[in-house]
Amino acid sequence: MSYFSHETAVIDKGCSIGKGTKIWHFSHIMSGATLGENCNLGQNVVVSPRVVLGNNVKVQNNVSIYTGVICEDDVFLGPSMVFTNITNPRSAIIRRDQYIETKVEKGASVGANATIICGNTIGSYALIGAGTVITKPVKPYALMVGNPGKQLGWVSEYGHRLNFDNNNRASCPESNQEYKLENNSVYKL
């Protein structure tokens, strides 16, 4: 076995788990789930069928990742954040064939207790603040806060707030990477 799973974790047959991945206490990986290499799933995490996690995805405690969710490489999912996969759930009506896809693109981070309403894409390197409720697509590098989520600004790939000058350029204080704001979108130079 090329991955680690705690003795209390439940790993169903028919899932794919990449080399170096760690699955901690009381987590459940369901049949048909795909986890990339070097992922880290905290305690009490559920990964449903047909979920795809890329490489180096970090999932903190108490997160359920439902069918329809795709997380690209280097995604961070904070403690107790929530995904949905149906917009109009009803206990008495079965809608398993109507799950709506949600995508979290490369390097994006979702804060603790945030809620992502299904059908939305979280752009690459976006930062979703703790407790934020996402009800619409999020642009790459966007900083989102509140309920409903509103864009407060832009962040670098290292998660620092970007302050654009008169030429619509900004620099990350940690990496010194340069960014440009153009047509209400951010690009790394």
The predicted pLDDT at position 9 comes to 98
DSSP at 174: T
The predicted pLDDT at position 96 comes to 87
The predicted pLDDT at position 136 comes to 98
Q: Where are the domains of the chain?
A: 4-86+96-159
The predicted pLDDT at position 1 comes to 76
Q: 4-86+96-159, superfamily in CATH?
A: Hexapeptide repeat proteins (2.160.10.10)
> What would the DSSP string read from start to end of 129-166?
-TT-EE-S-B-TTEEEETTTTEEEEEB-TTSPBP---T
On whether the pTM is more than 0.95, the answer is yes
Using the Cα atoms of residue 111, residue 35, residue 138 and residue 89 in order, give the sign of their dihedral: negative
Starting at the edge strand that comes first in sequence, how are the strands of the sheet with 115-116 ordered? Answer: 10-11, 28-29, 46-47, 64-65, 82-83, 115-116, 133-134
The predicted pLDDT at position 76 comes to 98
Walk along the chain (189 residues) in steps of 10 and give the mean pLDDT of each run.
Answer: 96 98 98 98 98 98 98 98 95 93 98 98 98 98 98 98 98 98 97
